């Protein structure tokens, strides 16, 4: 059935109107993510002896910055790994190296 050009269809159109024909279009709020440094933490990449990798392990800034360098971060991550291995029943993986994660490049949605 075809509609008369001067009469509206008795049902909603399957094709919505273009956006410019709306008087008001609600805008969704943006979720702003704070950077780890703003939250008071540093991200580390962990390389284990079995060549597996864990990226972006979060460590609080308060335990870093002394004469020990990043050694407190290694100790904290080893404690976390020990707790995880006990709960999961898997053996503890020794850490080969620990490096700070490079800062994330800002994307187009970041302000």
Confidence band (pLDDT; 50, 70, 90) for 29? confident
Structure confidence by residue, pLDDT tens digits, 58-97: 999 888 877 778 899 999 999 999 999 999 999 999 999 9
Q: Which positions ≥6 away from 71 have C-beta within 8 Å?
A: none
Domain boundaries, the chain: 37-100
């Amino acid at each position: 059935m075809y509609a008369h050009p001067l009469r509206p269809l008795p049902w909603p159109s399957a094709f919505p109107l273009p956006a410019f024909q709306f008087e008001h279009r609600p805008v969704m709020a943006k979720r702003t993510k704070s950077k780890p440094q703003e939250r008071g933490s540093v991200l580390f990449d962990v390389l284990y002896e079995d060549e597996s990798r864990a990226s972006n392990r979060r460590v609080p800034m308060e335990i870093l910055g002394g004469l020990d360098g990043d050694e407190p971060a290694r100790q904290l991550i080893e404690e976390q790994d020990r707790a995880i291995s006990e709960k999961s029943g898997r053996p503890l993986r020794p850490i080969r190296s620990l490096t700070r994660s490079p800062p994330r490049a800002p994307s187009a949605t970041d302000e």
